[in-house]
Amino acid sequence: MGYLFKNISIITMDDERQPVIISDLLIEGSKISRIDTNIPKMAHKVIEGKNLLVMPGFINTHTHVSMSLLRGYGDDLELFEWLSSRIWPIEAKLTKNDVYVGAKLGIAEMLLSGTTTFLDMYQDMEMVGKASQEIGIRCHLSRGTIYTGIENKDNEALKQLEELIDKFHDYDEGRIKVLAGPHAIYTNNTEFLKAQLEIAKRRNIGVNIHVSETKKENEDAILSLGKTPIAYLDEIGLLDAPYVVAAHMIYLNKEDQKIVKNKKIGIAHNPKSNLKLGSGIANVQKYISDGIKVGIGTDGAASNNNLDMLSELQYASLLQKGLNLDATSLNAYETLKMATIEGAKVLNISDRVGMLKEGYDADLIMFDLNQPHYYPIENSHISKIVYSGKSSDIIMTMVKGKTLMVNRELKTIDLDKTYNEVSEIIERVHKEND
């Protein structure tokens, strides 16, 4: 038993094929087993493809999914004030179960908007792992760390990272992965960063970190360390981890860019969060032209304020055109690559997801094109998805061959129950504030 899509429009994101084909696509077990015309109908669930389109699921390379609980809390503040006066005080009140409920809420939003993989950074990551295990989404967990100077606490954070690896890394044939997650250079010191690097190297995992998110971060680094954040991370060896995902990377000079390219760092570009926090606009067209891997992330729902990748990639493309005064900047196909196969490269999993290809895991989404904003329907599907697409038109989200959302209905999350749990948490946290 598997799924057979018949005569369906397919954006494969596979450069060895035409960008868009009309074909049959067969899924057996967790994998795409065939893309071909005239695949015979057997004991499969058949989906007739008229006015439907399938493509790889979106890969969100940077988020803090449980921050969905904090949506709308502390809007219109710049990053440092936002973190210290709003976010960190309320996060200190969240219990493990709150993080779990926040993860369910965020994953529900992601599945309904076509995200099949996300890289997360937060505290109590085992709760995000538990939610992902149960729900079936592909998830990379990074244990966010902030150096406190209190020995017990800092050692405990390192211990939790090791436990997270023991419990979740490579779960379900690699559907879940674990990374070290030092929050940033301004919230960690050299010794603590090196301790996390040591774990990353010994356990062969990646490192996920915020870098050069604001001008202030760069100016402070130059004042206190005499170099840019990236040059500093290079100097202390952090960029020699098995792989590195650096979020934001707005303020890179030419030397930084050279380091990023040579060390094969993957960048997670978060255009909406960077705009909303007044942080700036990363010139990712320049990075991509230089051969640097760049994916797209939403960041958390407290600084965006949603986890909708389609909206994110639309901002990404339009911003580059405006920034570079060049309509050819970040064209539709390049942008879609960032949200799929390039994102998979950033997360080091491009050998199994990010494209629709025989032998790849069946992580895909299906659009209903029978909407006014896709007509005329005959041409340029890629630009339609990128420039006029709406995530509410996604009617199927599949991870490893399992349908997690069909016809806008979530199969593995009780949404009403989750809403009630969220309301209870918010009520309790506000009471504690009084």
Q: Which residues of the shown chain bind Zn ion in the complex (CB under 5 A)?
A: 299
Q: Which is nearer to Zn ion, 51 or 306 (CB)?
A: 306
Q: Which is nearer to Zn ion, 72 or 291 (CB)?
A: 72
Let me know: does 244 contact 201? Beta carbons within 8 Å.
no
Residue 246: CB minimum distance to Zn ion, A: 11
Residue 117: CB minimum distance to Zn ion, A: 17
Give the nearest residue (CB) to Zn ion.
299
Q: Which is nearer to Zn ion, 299 or 334 (CB)?
A: 299
Q: Which is nearer to Zn ion, 217 or 299 (CB)?
A: 299
Q: Which is nearer to Zn ion, 32 or 246 (CB)?
A: 246
Q: Which is nearer to Zn ion, 76 or 378 (CB)?
A: 76
Residue 306: CB minimum distance to Zn ion, A: 15
Residue 209: CB minimum distance to Zn ion, A: 10
Q: Which is nearer to Zn ion, 17 or 216 (CB)?
A: 216
Q: Which is nearer to Zn ion, 299 or 363 (CB)?
A: 299
Residue 62: CB minimum distance to Zn ion, A: 6
Residue 392: CB minimum distance to Zn ion, A: 26
> Over the chain, what HEC string results?
CEEEEEEEEEECCCCCCCCEEEEEEEEECCEEEEEECCCCCCCCEEEECCCEEEEECEEEEEECHHHHHHCCCCCCCCHHHHHHHHHHHHHCCCCHHHHHHHHHHHHHHHHHCCEEEEEEEECCHHHHHHHHHHHCCEEEEEEEECCCCCHHHHHHHHHHHHHHHHHHCCHHHHCEEEEEEECCHHHCCHHHHHHHHHHHHHHCCEEEEEECCCHHHHHHHHHHHCCCHHHHHHHCCHHHCCCEEEEECCCCCHHHHHHHHHCCCEEEECHHHHHHCCCCCCCHHHHHHCCCEEEECCCCCCCCCCCCHHHHHHHHHHHHHHHHCCCCCCCHHHHHHHCCHHHHHHCCCCCCCCCCCCCCECCEEEEECCCHHHCCCCCCHHHHHHHHCCHHHEEEEEECCEEEEECCEECCCCHHHHHHHHHHHHHHHHHHHC
Residue 244: CB minimum distance to Zn ion, A: 15
Residue 165: CB minimum distance to Zn ion, A: 21
